[in-house]
């Protein structure tokens, strides 16, 4: 059995980050194929993942006709079903239900935050002023994180106990909060810091920084500051 995952440019593709973390964080081997965003190569690469037209897209090769799974939610459920021993979802039913709710809301919502603050792992800004709609998204995100932490007694770094799919889905949100210096309280800031220090996240970001391709449309005309995570996150290609 083998997995082949098509991803977009690491610095910018938040959905690809989610998909890749599902493998890296749970010890699942995967072959990664890069589809360059906004180039003809993107569609050509995804011809091998038909009928998918967006990234991430997963091809499962097990000696029979390959199976293609697209959309991060479908990939998440497929991997959890195929690897029940890896802890992608919490084992306790009430925590599993909470984690699924968090993933579903993240998957479907927070359009203002997504639109105004596209993921850009190359930059960290000062002076970004979020619109009220973005502030509303942040308030809801903080409420969800606080509810999750209180449900589990606030132990550990992650939302519902051990790292699970809910954390993988919120990793790009943490990156956005870090990149744009978005205003959050101490508890949410600690959760963001846990993501920035996470070895898998740092491996992804290191590969993004090592990639020579830059998409200027993702840059903001704002003063830059030092990345708020560990400095060594910028070393190596991972």
- The domain ranges of the chain are 2-86, 93-201
Tell me which CATH code domain 93-201 carries: 1.20.1050.10
Predicted confidence (pLDDT) at residue 235 exceeds the cutoff of 70:
no
Question: Which residues are 2's β-sheet partners?
Answer: 61
Residue 233: predicted pLDDT: 43
Q: 174's torsion region: left (phi>0), alpha (psi -120 to 50) or beta?
A: alpha
How far apart CA 69 and CA 186 sit, in angstroms, is: 38
Q: Which CATH superfamily is domain 2-86 in?
A: Glutaredoxin (3.40.30.10)
Which among 79, 101, 81, 92 has a CA at the least distance from the CA of 25? 79
pLDDT digits (tens, 9 = 90+) for 5-29: 999 999 999 999 999 999 999 999 9
Report the pLDDT averaged over residues 186-210: 97
Residues of the chain with pLDDT > 70: what percent?
97
């Amino acid at each position: 059995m083998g997995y082949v995952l098509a991803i977009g440019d690491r610095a910018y593709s938040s959905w690809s980050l989610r998909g890749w973390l599902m493998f890296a964080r749970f010890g699942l081997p995967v072959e990664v194929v890069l589809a360059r965003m906004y180039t003809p190569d993107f569609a050509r690469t995804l011809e091998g993942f038909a009928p998918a037209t967006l990234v991430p897209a997963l091809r499962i090769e097990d000696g029979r006709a390959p199976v293609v799974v697209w959309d991060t939610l479908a990939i998440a459920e497929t991997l959890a079903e195929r690897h029940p021993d890896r802890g992608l979802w919490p084992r306790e039913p009430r925590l599993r239900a909470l984690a699924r709710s968090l993933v579903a809301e993240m998957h479907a919502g927070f359009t203002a935050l997504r639109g105004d603050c596209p993921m850009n792992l190359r930059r960290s800004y000062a002076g970004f002023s979020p619109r009220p709609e973005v502030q509303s998204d942040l308030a809801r995100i903080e409420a969800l994180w606080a509810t999750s932490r209180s449900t589990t007694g606030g132990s550990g770094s992650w939302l519902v106990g051990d790292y699970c799919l809910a954390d993988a889905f919120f990793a790009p949100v943490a990156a956005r909060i870090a990149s744009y210096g978005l205003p959050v309280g101490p508890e949410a800031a600690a959760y963001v810091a846990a993501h920035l220090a996470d070895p898998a996240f740092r491996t992804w970001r290191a590969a993004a920084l090592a990639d020579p391709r830059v998409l200027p449309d993702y840059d903001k005309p704002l003063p830059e500051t030092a990345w708020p995570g560990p400095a060594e996150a910028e070393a190596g290609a991972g």
